[in-house]
């Protein structure tokens, strides 16, 4: 972290002689994160400077997003919520009581009251409100539609809205089992997005594929949560009689038969099935290495790995461990890093933590954590007490001196977390 006048001198060198050092002696200024804009913290509040040292946003915000989505970042203060562009200009301004979410594919939802009607409203990147207030729960816009729950005055109905804010169709409804968003006990639940024109819907009797008009396309066996077609060309599917796992296409056909005791989602046209697992009456299961088999989207077995644990393929690589040794392989099973004892992969930690992401591998040296690339070359020197979240879209969350920070891929602190 860089503090006070020492940091501001960097800004002054790039400015036109504008002196802000005297005013900024108690400010913490963080690295640039977009078009030369830097966050600063003053009296516990956040603001923005540009390269000239000019204040773009005053230090009145208790949160400014350190990253942009659809070209917009969110900033929240006591009396307003704003979205800023990459030049730091406020392009959308909302009242303080409005809860706003991150933009995705050009749209986001805001929770607010308009003319006495309180609910979720869909807005575009210009801040235009597209829906009425009867939406009570919603997902992001994907493939041109967003799943949502709307109140019709008597019941909650599952539905889909388009990018114009229009309800395209309602999901089937049983008044004896009112729709409850993400409540598995309600008998009717759905938390799937559209991909390639199809989405999943569970009506209490079967898993079905629906099209963008709400028509049932076909029935599928039950699919495990979070391992559906949104990850890749095939979905993990369980045989309802044997409870073994395989991979299924959107036609409901098993491309890889259900022979796995466990399965990992088929990301990047590669999936892993746990083929062999030993059980003991007392230990259940017996600890130690087990056999995983890698398949491609054509259903072909590619190679086997015997290990204690393994990650799905992501970014072209998978990570696995045998004892304390950690290895990294590519999509064809070629060894990239073998039996490393410095790669950091704790037994337990944040659900967002993986040892390798976006080509950045967490490693440990003298009790501190840093990042290296797939060639074993240090990219960010070991200096962190912990890595809370590995890199995602160019940013990671680390812990340093008892505080959490967001860093970029150069190791620069972008903002506090």
Q: Kindly tell me if the per-residue pLDDT of 177 is higher than 70.
A: no
pLDDT the model gives residue 376: 92
Give how far Cα 174 sits from Cα of 136, 181, 218, 319, Å: 18, 14, 21, 45
Residues forming beta bridges with residue 100, ordered by sequence position: 110
Average pLDDT of the chain to the nearest whole number: 83
The range of the structural domain enclosing residue 55 comes to 1-94
Same domain, 85 and 10: yes
Give the tokens for residue 46: 């956040």
Question: How far is it, in rounded angstroms, from Cα 208 to Cα 216?
Answer: 7
Residues for the chain: how many in total? 417
Backbone angles phi, psi at 92, to 5 degrees: -135, 130
Domain presence at residue 53:
yes
Instruction: Give which of 389, 375, 237 is closest to 317, Cα–Cα.
Output: 375
Q: Are 82 and 64 in contact, with CB atoms under 8 Å apart? A: no
pLDDT the model gives residue 22: 30
Residues forming beta bridges with residue 343, ordered by sequence position: 363
Domain presence at residue 299:
no
CA dihedral 398, 404, 409, 414 (to 10 degrees): 180
Give the tokens for residue 44: 């516990």
**H-only helix segments in 2-152:** 4-14
Specify the pTM: 0.78
Question: How far is it, in rounded angstroms, from Cα 188 to Cα 142?
Answer: 21
Same domain, 132 and 182: yes
Instruction: Give which of 193, 197, 213, 214 is closest to 142, Cα–Cα.
Output: 193
Assign 139 a pLDDT band (cuts: 50, 70, 90): confident
Q: Kindly tell me if the per-residue pLDDT of 9 is higher than 90.
A: no
> Between 239 and 297, where is the model more confident?
297
Same domain, 30 and 48: yes
The least confident of 100-114, 189-203, 231-245, 324-338 is: 189-203
pLDDT the model gives residue 13: 28
CATH of the domain at 104: 2.130.10.120
Most confident range, picked from 82-86, 151-155, 339-343, 413-417: 339-343
> Between 259 and 314, where is the model more confident?
259
pLDDT the model gives residue 10: 36
Question: How far is it, in rounded angstroms, from Cα 375 to Cα 145?
Answer: 41
Biggest CA pair distance of the chain: 76
Same domain, 11 and 121: no
Domain presence at residue 127:
yes
Q: Kindly tell me if the per-residue pLDDT of 203 is higher than 70.
A: no
Same domain, 42 and 104: no
The least confident of 31-35, 48-52, 82-86 is: 31-35
Assign 350 a pLDDT band (cuts: 50, 70, 90): low
Same domain, 48 and 137: no
**Residues 6+ positions from 181 with CB-CB distance below 8 Å:** 136, 137, 149, 156, 158, 189
Give how far Cα 250 sits from Cα of 199, 212, 318, 372, Å: 10, 15, 25, 38
Most confident range, picked from 81-85, 173-177, 277-281, 299-303: 299-303
**H-only helix segments in 42-96:** none
Q: How many domains does the chain have?
A: 2
- State which of 197, 220, 243 marks the end of a domain: 220
Looking only at the bridges linking them, the beta strands covering 360-365 and 356-357 are antiparallel
Q: Kindly tell me if the per-residue pLDDT of 181 is higher than 60.
A: no
The SS3 of residue 18 is coil
Assign 230 a pLDDT band (cuts: 50, 70, 90): confident
Q: Kindly tell me if the per-residue pLDDT of 302 is higher than 90.
A: yes
> What percent of the chain lies above the pLDDT cut of 70?
86
- State which of 94, 117, 133 marks the end of a domain: 94
pLDDT the model gives residue 21: 32
Q: Kindly tell me if the per-residue pLDDT of 115 is higher than 50.
A: yes
Q: Kindly tell me if the per-residue pLDDT of 133 is higher than 90.
A: no
pLDDT the model gives residue 186: 42
Domain presence at residue 328:
no
Same domain, 139 and 213: yes
Same domain, 130 and 164: yes
Domain presence at residue 24:
yes
- Chain center to CA of 278: 34
Instruction: Give which of 51, 45, 18 is closest to 32, Cα–Cα.
Output: 51
What's the pLDDT tens digit per position in 152-164?
888 888 889 999 9
Domain presence at residue 380:
no
Residues forming beta bridges with residue 178, ordered by sequence position: none
Q: Kindly tell me if the per-residue pLDDT of 415 is higher than 90.
A: no
Cis ω for the linkage preceding 380 (within 30 of 0): no
What's the pLDDT tens digit per position in 66-105?
888 898 999 998 888 999 988 888 999 988 778 888 899 9
pLDDT the model gives residue 364: 95
Q: Residue 136 belongs to what H/E stretch?
A: strand 135-138
The SS3 of residue 394 is coil
pLDDT the model gives residue 397: 92
Strand order in the sheet with 73-77: 2-3, 28-34, 37-42, 45-49, 55-64, 73-77, 80-84, 90-95
Q: Could you please report the per-residue DSSP string of 299-327?
A: S-EEEEEEESEEPPPBTTEEEEEETTEEE
Domain presence at residue 266:
no
Question: How far is it, in rounded angstroms, from Cα 251 to Cα 133?
Answer: 37
DSSP letter for 129, please. Answer: B
pLDDT the model gives residue 2: 34
Same domain, 75 and 118: no
Question: How far is it, in rounded angstroms, from Cα 383 to Cα 415?
Answer: 17
Domain presence at residue 358:
no
pLDDT the model gives residue 184: 44
Same domain, 88 and 114: no
- State which of 56, 75, 94 marks the end of a domain: 94
The per-residue b/e assignment along 62-100, b for 16 or more CB within 10 angstroms, e otherwise, is: eebbbbbbeebbbbbbeebbbbbbeebeeebebeeebeb
3-state secondary structure 167-186: EEEECCCCCCCCCCCCCHHH
Question: How far is it, in rounded angstroms, from Cα 186 to Cα 176?
Answer: 10
Same domain, 140 and 76: no
Same domain, 111 and 175: yes
Tally of CA atoms within 13 A in the half-sphere of 221 that contains its CB: 21
> Between 409 and 36, where is the model more confident?
409
């Amino acid at each position: 972290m860089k503090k006070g006048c020492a940091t501001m001198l960097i800004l002054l060198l790039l400015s036109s002689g504008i002196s802000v050092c005297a005013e900024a002696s108690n400010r913490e200024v963080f690295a640039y994160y977009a078009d030369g804009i830097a966050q600063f913290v003053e009296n516990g509040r956040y603001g923005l400077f540009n390269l000239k040292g000019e204040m773009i946003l005053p230090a009145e915000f208790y949160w400014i997003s350190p990253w942009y989505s659809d070209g917009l970042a969110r900033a929240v203060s006591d009396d307003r919520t704003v979205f800023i562009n990459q030049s730091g200009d406020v392009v959308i301004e909302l009242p303080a009581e409005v809860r706003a979410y991150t933009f995705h594919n050009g749209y986001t939802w805001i929770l607010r009251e308009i003319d006495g009607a309180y609910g979720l409203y869909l807005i575009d990147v210009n801040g235009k409100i597209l829906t009425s207030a009867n939406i009570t729960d919603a997902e992001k816009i994907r493939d041109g539609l967003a799943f949502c729950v709307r109140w019709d005055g008597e019941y909650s109905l599952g539905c889909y809205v388009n990018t114009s804010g229009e309800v395209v169709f309602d999901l089937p409804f049983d008044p004896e089992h009112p729709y409850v968003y993400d409540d598995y006990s309600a008998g009717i639940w759905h938390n799937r997005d559209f991909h390639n024109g199809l989405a999943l819907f569970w009506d209490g009797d079967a898993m079905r594929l629906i099209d963008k008009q709400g028509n049932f396309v076909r029935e599928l066996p039950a699919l495990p949560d979070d391992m559906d077609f949104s990850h890749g060309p095939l979905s993990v599917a369980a045989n309802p009689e044997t409870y073994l796992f395989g991979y299924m296409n959107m036609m409901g056909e098993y491309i890889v038969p259900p022979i796995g005791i466990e399965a990992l989602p088929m990301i990047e046209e590669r999936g892993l099935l746990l083929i062999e697992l030993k059980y003991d009456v007392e230990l259940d299961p017996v600890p130690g290495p087990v056999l995983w088999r890698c398949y491609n989207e054509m259903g072909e077995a590619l190679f086997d790995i015997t290990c204690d644990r393994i990650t799905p393929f992501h970014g072209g690589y998978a990570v696995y461990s045998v004892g304390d040794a950690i290895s990294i392989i590519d999509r064809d099973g070629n060894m990239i890093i073998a039996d490393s004892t410095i790669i950091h992969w704790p037994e337990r930690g944040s659900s967002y933590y993986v040892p390798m992401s976006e080509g950045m591998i967490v490693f440990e040296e003298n009790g501190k954590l840093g990042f290296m690339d797939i060639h074993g070359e240090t990219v960010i020197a070991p200096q962190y007490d912990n890595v809370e979240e590995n890199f995602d879209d160019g940013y990671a969350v680390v812990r340093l001196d008892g505080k959490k920070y967001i860093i970029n891929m150069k190791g620069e602190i972008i903002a506090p977390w």
